[in-house]
Amino acid sequence: MVGSDTWRQRGTHLYLPLAGFMVVMLFPFYWMLITSLKPNQELYNARIMPLVVYHPTLEHYIGLITKTNFFGWTFNTLLVATVTTMVSLVFGAMAAYPLARMNFPGAGLIALAIAATYLVPQTLLFIPMADLINRLGLVNTLASVMLTYPTFLIPFCAWLLMGDFKSVPRELEESARIDGASRFVAMVRIVLPLCIPGLLSAGIFSFTLSQNEFLYALIFLNKSDIRTVPVAAIAELMRGDVFYWGQLMAAALLGSVPVAVIYSFFVEHYVAGLTAGAVKG
First to last CA, the chain: 45
* HEC sequence for 217-280: HHHHCCCHHHCCHHHHHHHHHEECCEECHHHHHHHHHHHCHHHHHHHHHHHHHHHHHHHHHHHH
Residues 207/121, Cβ–Cβ less than 8 Å: no
Q: What is the pLDDT of residues 51-104, one digit of tens each?
A: 888 888 999 999 999 988 999 999 999 999 999 999 999 999 999 988 888 887
How many helices (H) and strands (E) the chain has is answered by 17, 2
Q: Does one domain contain both 17 and 102?
A: no
In sequence order, what are the beta bridge partners of 239? 242
Q: Does one domain contain both 34 and 101?
A: no
Residue 246 CA neighbour count, 13 Å, CB half: 19
Q: Does one domain contain both 80 and 24?
A: no
Q: Does one domain contain both 103 and 31?
A: no
Q: Does one domain contain both 214 and 165?
A: yes
Q: What is the pLDDT of residues 188-217, one digit of tens each?
A: 888 888 888 888 888 888 998 899 899 899
d(CA 96, CA 155): 9
Range of the domain at 12: 2-43
Q: Which residue has the higher pLDDT, 131 or 8?
A: 131
Q: Does one domain contain both 104 and 216?
A: yes
Residue 273: what pLDDT?
52
pTM to 2 decimal places: 0.83
Q: Does one domain contain both 143 and 221?
A: yes
Report the CATH number that the domain containing residue 80 is assigned in CATH: 1.10.3720.10
